[in-house]
Amino acid sequence: MKFTILFVIALCLSIIYSVRVSPSSDNMASASFSLLSDPFLQLPTSHSVRVVWFTEFLDDRSYVKYGSQLEKETDATTTELSRVREDQNSLVNQEYIQPTVRDIWRHEAIITGLTPNQRVPYQVVSVKDKEVISSKQFTLASNPTPDKPLKILLTSDHQLMPMTTANLQKVVETVGRVDAVFFAGDLVNIPDRASEWFDDSRGGAFFPGLQGRANYQLNGTTYKGGEIIQYAPLFTALGNHEVMGRFSTTSSLKDQFSDSIPRSVAKQLYPQEDLKNNSFNTDTYEEIFTLPESQPGGEKYYAVTFGDIRLVVLYVTNMWRSPSNEPNVKGRYQESIRYLDSPENWGYGQHIFEPISRDSLQYRWLKAELANDAFKEAKYKIVMFHHPPHTLGGNIVPPYTDPQAVIQHDQNGRIQSVKYEYPIEQDYIIRDLIPLLETAGVQLVYYGHSHLWNRFTSESRMQFLESSNVGNSYGAHLGDKKRPVPPNNLNYAEVGNPNGLEPIIPNIAPLQDEKGNDLSYIASNDITVFSILDTEKGTVSSYRFDTRQTASEVIKFDEFKIIAPDSHSG
Ligand SMILES: [Fe+2]
């Protein structure tokens, strides 16, 4: 309780002592209001769907008009986001000198009485001081019936990266309107920075990109993104960039993002009342979205039926820390020598935010979920999470397991060094999760995190796809391009996929190296990639677009079928 009160006081102080310098603040009184985002669709059920939008003013009333003549109205419920702020590093049209609370209200209306497969026009309205502020008209729909052919966009790792808005624009230009978006995490960079969601001044924030309201310059072209989530429900997984670290009123938002420690450590250092502010939290993500929920995991992990797809979304992501072994680095393999005497300042390596090991609550929930009829009877069985089980990318090292501390003391008992090891045989994704998914007949495992495109197939024909070369790439590790790992340690693979499967060369139009050899991946900061699941054909098709040539065509370069593991027909 004491810490909750302290948190509230800290938030108030940060408002009182913050300095906002707005070039247009003198005109604010006469400025008319506008919506901070377009509406987007969430949580469709068989006869309903939710419409969500945001404003920077506390409305007098907000509602959705819908129906063929927009003749019906449903009032929205309004809440204020509790943790979104800006700071000195925010790219917005105001200057901030320290973390400063930003007032943003979220409006959500539940539209009921819908008929599956019938789209209905809608428009959102917020009223403030007798001024009526409306969005454009879009269409909404409830959950489609199982026989309805669907196109689903598989995307991840937007993070306001340079090619993201071009990518989303090309999605709409190439396949038209999709029916849903499956997003495998890392939506923004720092989840509590409001402008990354709404109005980063570079023009490529999260919502503008997915709503066709972006304004991003790349190679001489202005990209608007695509009007996607006004029409299609968004299902997301938590990535490491949705997790905010320890709360502070003074340190930068980036430092707070990086300052997470495991809950188990926080329990030893801080009173029970407010562990969240002293470890890590996903509050902003959970406040922005209305996702399906599971009994133990809430929105953090869940399962949902959409058309003939059963989608299982897991919370499988860990803290990212630098691979550097420079003495002052709080890294994945070591603590900084500056803080050896103060464990409250340690980083605790790449700690896992939510366990997925075989004895964990999430694993037990998953096992029960995979055994129920909704999963077993679904035509398509898809599992989505952020961390890669198989990849050529950098982030598969170190193995996905709890960091094991090796602490050396001198003869007086003072700590000399803290190192972390990650035994590969204890990788929870490979040891526990993947065998469970294989046994259950999952057809597609979809993930991101390394920022490249590559895919794999297991012996039982379970498909693995990483389609995260959306906004940028962190490269593929083959040949001379080695991961930065501790030397002579079999736990850490310098190149290749450490978990065994070989990447599959795209079967339509692979890229080639300088010698003309087909490449099994796309890892490019010039070529952006998106993937579309087509439930009518049972295929996942991947497309690439070269952002260096505005007039260049979008090229379908790979297509594979999702085949049930017990079927060997393809
Ligand atoms: Fe990530």
Q: What is the CA radius of gyration of the chain?
A: 24
Residue 332 alpha carbon to ligand 1 centre in Å: 15
- d(CA 445, CA 541) in angstroms, rounded, equals 15
Residue 373 alpha carbon to ligand 1 centre in Å: 32
pTM of the model: 0.94
Question: What is the per-residue pLDDT for 167?
Answer: 98
pLDDT (average), residues 336-353: 97
Residue 112 alpha carbon to ligand 1 centre in Å: 36
52: helix, strand or coil: strand
What confidence tier does 3 reach under pLDDT thresholds 50, 70, 90?
Answer: very low
Question: What is the per-residue pLDDT for 13?
Answer: 42
What confidence tier does 569 reach under pLDDT thresholds 50, 70, 90?
Answer: very low
What confidence tier does 26 reach under pLDDT thresholds 50, 70, 90?
Answer: very low
What confidence tier does 2 reach under pLDDT thresholds 50, 70, 90?
Answer: very low
Residue 321 alpha carbon to ligand 1 centre in Å: 11
Residue 353 alpha carbon to ligand 1 centre in Å: 13
Task: Express as a percent the part of the chain with pLDDT over 90.
Answer: 92
Residue 472 alpha carbon to ligand 1 centre in Å: 12
What confidence tier does 32 reach under pLDDT thresholds 50, 70, 90?
Answer: confident
Residue 358 alpha carbon to ligand 1 centre in Å: 23
Q: What is the mean pLDDT of the chain?
A: 93
For 193-237, the pLDDT digits (tens) are 999 999 999 999 999 999 999 999 999 999 999 999 999 999 999
Residue 111 alpha carbon to ligand 1 centre in Å: 34
Strands (E), 35-83: 40-42, 49-55, 61-66, 72-75, 77-80
Query: What's at 463, amino acid-wise?
Result: Q
Question: What is the per-residue pLDDT for 274?
Answer: 87
Query: Between 479 and 27, where is the model more confident?
Result: 479
Residue 449 alpha carbon to ligand 1 centre in Å: 4
- d(CA 196, CA 538) in angstroms, rounded, equals 35
Give the CA count within 13 Å in the CB-facing half-sphere of 199. Answer: 16
Residue 240 alpha carbon to ligand 1 centre in Å: 5
- d(CA 277, CA 283) in angstroms, rounded, equals 11
What confidence tier does 12 reach under pLDDT thresholds 50, 70, 90?
Answer: very low
Question: What is the per-residue pLDDT for 566?
Answer: 43
> Which residues are CB-neighbours of 434 under 8 A, at least 6 positions away?
389, 445, 458
Residue 547 alpha carbon to ligand 1 centre in Å: 23
What single string gives the DSSP state of each residue in 374-440? HHHT-SEEEEE-SS-SS-SSGGG-S-SS--EEEEEE-TTS-EEEEEEE--GGG-HIIIIIHHHHHHH
Residue 243 alpha carbon to ligand 1 centre in Å: 10
Residue 506 alpha carbon to ligand 1 centre in Å: 24
Going by the DSSP 8-state scheme, the letter that residue 281 receives in this structure is B
328-342: buried (b, 16+ CB within 10 Å) or exposed (e) per residue?
ebbbbbbbbeebbee
Residue 390 alpha carbon to ligand 1 centre in Å: 14
Closest CA to 316 of 401, 439, 210, 407: 401
Question: What is the per-residue pLDDT for 537?
Answer: 95
Residue 125 alpha carbon to ligand 1 centre in Å: 35
Residue 69 alpha carbon to ligand 1 centre in Å: 43
Residue 448 alpha carbon to ligand 1 centre in Å: 7
Residue 234 alpha carbon to ligand 1 centre in Å: 18
Residue 450 alpha carbon to ligand 1 centre in Å: 7
Residue 543 alpha carbon to ligand 1 centre in Å: 22
What confidence tier does 20 reach under pLDDT thresholds 50, 70, 90?
Answer: very low
Residue 531 alpha carbon to ligand 1 centre in Å: 18
CB 458 within 8 A of CB 441: no
pLDDT (average), residues 97-122: 98
Q: CB neighbours (10 Å) of residue 343?
A: 15
Residue 464 reports pLDDT greater than 80? yes
Residue 553 alpha carbon to ligand 1 centre in Å: 29
pLDDT (average), residues 116-126: 98
Residue 282 alpha carbon to ligand 1 centre in Å: 14
Question: What is the per-residue pLDDT for 6?
Answer: 46
Residue 560 reports pLDDT greater than 60? yes
pLDDT (average), residues 75-84: 98
Residue 159 alpha carbon to ligand 1 centre in Å: 9
Task: Choose the weakest-confidence range: 14-28, 220-234, 291-305, 428-442.
Answer: 14-28
User: Alpha carbon of 232 to those of 54, 229, 354, 495: distances in Å?
Assistant: 17, 5, 29, 38
Question: What is the per-residue pLDDT for 294?
Answer: 97
Question: What is the per-residue pLDDT for 477?
Answer: 98
Question: What is the per-residue pLDDT for 31?
Answer: 54
Residue 7 reports pLDDT greater than 90? no
Question: What is the per-residue pLDDT for 29?
Answer: 41
- d(CA 95, CA 87) in angstroms, rounded, equals 8
Residue 386 alpha carbon to ligand 1 centre in Å: 7
Task: Choose the weakest-confidence range: 22-26, 326-330, 397-401.
Answer: 22-26
Residue 156 alpha carbon to ligand 1 centre in Å: 9
Question: What is the per-residue pLDDT for 134?
Answer: 98
Beta strand 95-96 pairing with 85-86 = unpaired
Query: φ, ψ for residue 220 (rounded to 5)?
Result: 80, 0
pLDDT (average), residues 470-474: 98
Residue 238 alpha carbon to ligand 1 centre in Å: 9
Question: What is the per-residue pLDDT for 65?
Answer: 98
Q: CB neighbours (10 Å) of residue 174?
A: 17
Residue 470 alpha carbon to ligand 1 centre in Å: 13
Residue 388 alpha carbon to ligand 1 centre in Å: 9
21: helix, strand or coil: strand
Sign of the alpha-carbon dihedral angle for 83, 88, 91, 94: positive
Residue 293 alpha carbon to ligand 1 centre in Å: 22
Residue 323 alpha carbon to ligand 1 centre in Å: 15
Residue 116 alpha carbon to ligand 1 centre in Å: 35
Residue 550 alpha carbon to ligand 1 centre in Å: 29
pLDDT (average), residues 82-104: 97
What single string gives the DSSP state of each residue in 98-143? S-EE---EEEEEEE-S--TT--EEEEEEEEETTEEEE---EEE--P
- d(CA 287, CA 116) in angstroms, rounded, equals 27
